[in-house]
């Protein structure tokens, strides 16, 4: 027998699923714009603003459900996690905006050596894969899938640190390339972290266990 609160939880879940797909589109657009040297800032800014507005709606719905229904522990865990996931998705939008900004203002990738472009392309693909895992885990409430993110998260962390070491050792002289690529790899590393946080929230919803997937 369904409960009144279940409808509210389903509405939150649907909103987050829509937000998740917009998140992926925003990130993919900003990354492709950066890699191709194409300005996408106006579109990314609009999409990022939509993500923030949707995160606010998730937060408002959270307080409404708590105030109206006094949820039991398992429901409260889900409601709290949904609000956190909404904030993580909003952060994706913020980083997408940052990526489009450095692409427009610095546009340093075109002055980088080929290996840098290939490196960032590979790192970007791994990060987008992680974001897709976080989205699919949320849609299906799939704890097993969520836990698979760990290996790729570790790979992205290693790529970020290795890249910084490589920049230092190779003594790059092109300041635009150094600035642009260092910022880009940092943003990608942070996006990967938020994808991991989403997956941790999925596990928490399913089990009540707080784990670290790193």
Does some domain include residue 213?
no
Is 151 within a domain?
yes
pLDDT tens string 33-45:
999 999 999 999 9
214 lies in some domain: no
Strand, coil or helix: what is 63?
A: helix
Residue 152 pLDDT class (50, 70, 90 cuts): very high
DSSP symbol at 178: H
Cβ–Cβ under 8 Å, residues 167 and 105: no
Domain count, the chain: 1
For residue 179, give its domain range: 4-207
pTM here is 0.92
Q: Which residues contact 45 (CB under 8 A, 6 or more apart)?
A: 97, 100
Sorting pLDDT into bands at 50, 70 and 90, what band is 175? confident
Residue 168 lies in a domain: yes
| Domain assignment present for 49 | yes
212 domain residue, yes or no: no
Question: Could you tell me the CATH number of the domain that includes residue 88?
Answer: 1.20.58.220
- Digit-coded pLDDT (tens) for 70-120: 888 888 899 989 999 999 999 999 999 999 999 888 887 888 888 999 999
Q: What's residue 173's pLDDT?
A: 65
């Amino acid at each position: 027998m369904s409960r009144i609160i279940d409808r509210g939880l389903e509405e939150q879940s649907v909103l987050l699923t829509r937000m998740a797909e917009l998140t992926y589109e925003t990130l993919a657009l900003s990354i492709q714009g950066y890699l191709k040297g194409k300005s996408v800032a106006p579109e990314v800014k609009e999409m990022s603003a939509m993500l923030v507005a949707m995160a606010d709606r998730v937060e408002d719905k959270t307080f409404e459900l708590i105030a109206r229904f006094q949820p039991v522990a398992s429901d409260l865990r889900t409601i709290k996690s949904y609000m956190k996931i909404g904030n993580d998705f909003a952060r994706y939008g913020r980083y997408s905006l940052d990526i489009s900004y450095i692409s427009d203002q610095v546009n340093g990738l075109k002055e980088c050596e080929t290996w840098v472009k290939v490196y960032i392309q590979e790192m970007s693909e791994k990060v987008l894969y992680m974001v897709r895992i976080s989205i699919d885990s949320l849609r299906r409430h799939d704890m097993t899938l969520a836990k698979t993110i760990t290996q790729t998260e570790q790979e992205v962390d290693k790529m970020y640190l290795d890249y910084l070491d490589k920049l230092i050792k190779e003594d790059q002289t092109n300041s635009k390339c150094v600035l642009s690529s260092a910022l880009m790899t940092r943003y990608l590393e942070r996006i990967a972290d938020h994808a991991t946080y989403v997956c941790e929230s999925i596990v928490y919803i399913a089990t009540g266990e707080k784990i670290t997937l790193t």
